[in-house]
A and B are shown apart, each in its own frame.
Chain A
């Protein structure tokens, strides 16, 4: 019997699990996929939003304003790539100039410091690649970027290092409330019991709520398509460049990523379900067209991959972070769409406060260590340091992924360190192996071999992302 079961290992569930391990609590994190951060978290813009956007008075406004500094601090503690690059919201007409001013005012109401309104020329002076058609811009200096899946991986890893348990491939099919707590049952029949249950199930949070007997909300899945460009384009802009939202939509952003690539997107299309993550020709065309509106010089020949993420919103628009009104011991942390990533640390802290209010005893655990080793330390070493390190750890001398210069040592580490990667995509998210220009063309067979060795499984059982995603069809 765990003290707390957290359903869903996205950035919210992962950060909450970490927050809970600060206390003397047994924590179990459940995830339906073969790795953490595989739902909405994986295909997120990675933007740390300044906080000018949410409606004042909402949970979103509160969590966002509180969350920015906490997120940057946590990213530093977990050694996750992040950068406070600042953002701009650009306008293209007198009408849109008014929106920029309105956003400025809303930012003031939300208590966001440092905002300013720039003329088109002032904006171009700071960001020379901006279109000549830009008429004004809101400058948001506290905003930035963080790698959403590395943040989640690090948070879960740190939670595990501090005693939390992670159960992957645990697709929840039933939740039963008993006298002393919950029994959560997976598709394969295994069960987990816990006194408290926190619903962080992202795109499936409405289904989990319903299974627990409190299905009071319905999520509306919306897909956002993106294109990721090579690092050669990574310095095209220095800030995250948003467009003023219009009646036609929220516009697309052009941003450097925390890893030095350039990201453009997203679209916002109503889709069937949380699994509808396919990209479409129309979506990608829209992204390219709208991105070029802000930054005409984006070189789309440098696209290395495109992807789509499904975010889960509700009709009301605000986060749902509240104890169930019907089922005691159940806490909902649902409908976490933008600015969910920015707010994740604040949400985790707030969720713990709510759990405390629900009766959870929270005694600090003095053994908690919030720092996680820097898994990218090797990459930042100079030649002399690398030489010394390789002499101690020869696996770091073998470069496996030549596009991103990832070594065998880093890949083996990713396959061993909490939460251990279990498949090709898991290795990619942790190490960037296969994430470069050749998209794994050269390194995939070698990565597969390392997975096979470390996991003691046959090459033919190595998967791309768990389940039926085996790469090979057998031996010749």
Chain B
């Protein structure tokens, strides 16, 4: 396997190449160890924080913004979105409240309060 990717750890944006199979990977093009780790993570188990909104049913045209409390596997993004979309909530909502529990090892929580 050979994969080119741009590092997102800092604004430098190093162009890196990852080569190898399974856990035996070599990274070139990075300028720091963080970049190397990012490249390996990105090739073995890329993770993303998903942010979206959940409708507040007892307020007119009101959404509460939400996020996964921790990153989830990149492949699971649309599955997480399905769970989020199937959810509604009633105000009041407090920032930090768990709105969808146990999603790929984490929770979907509110990122704002709605009174």
Contacts and interface: CB of A to CB of B under 8 A. Distances in A.
Nearest to A445: B61
A34 B96 CA distance: 46
B61 A476 contact: no
B63 A459 contact: no
Interface string A453-476: 000000100000000000000011
Interface string B43-77: 00000000001010000010100000000000000
B108 to A, nearest CB: 15
B61 A459 contact: yes
Of B53, B55, B61, B63, chain A has the most CB atoms within 10 Å of the CB of B61
Interface in A424-476: 449, 459, 475-476
Nearest to A449: B61
A475 B53 CA distance: 12
A459 B85 CA distance: 20
Contacts of A449: 61
Nearest to B85: A476
B9 to A, nearest CB: 32
B60 to A, nearest CB: 10
A448 to B, nearest CB: 11
A459 B60 CA distance: 11
Interface string A178-219: 000000000000000000000000000000000000000000
A358 B44 CA distance: 88
A449 B60 CA distance: 11
Contacts of B85: 476
A475 B62 CA distance: 11
Contacts of A459: 61
A288 to B, nearest CB: 38
A475 B55 CA distance: 10
Interface string B35-48: 00000000000000
Task: Tell which of A449, A459, A475, A476 has the most Cβ of chain B within 10 Å.
Answer: A476
Contacts of B63: 476
A476 B61 CA distance: 10
Contacts of B53: 476
Interface string B85-102: 100000000000000000
A71 to B, nearest CB: 45
A475 B57 CA distance: 13
A236 to B, nearest CB: 42
A470 to B, nearest CB: 16
A82 B49 CA distance: 57
A449 B85 CA distance: 24
Contacts of A476: 53, 55, 63, 85
A350 B23 CA distance: 90
A62 B81 CA distance: 69
Contacts of A475: 55
A476 B88 CA distance: 11
Nearest to B63: A476
A449 B61 CA distance: 10
B53 to A, nearest CB: 7
A459 B62 CA distance: 13
Interface of A: 449, 459, 475-476
7 contacts: A449-B61, A459-B61, A475-B55, A476-B53, A476-B55, A476-B63, A476-B85
Interface of B: 53, 55, 61, 63, 85
A-B pairs, 7 with minimum CB distance:
A476-B53, A459-B61, A476-B55, A476-B63, A475-B55, A476-B85, A449-B61
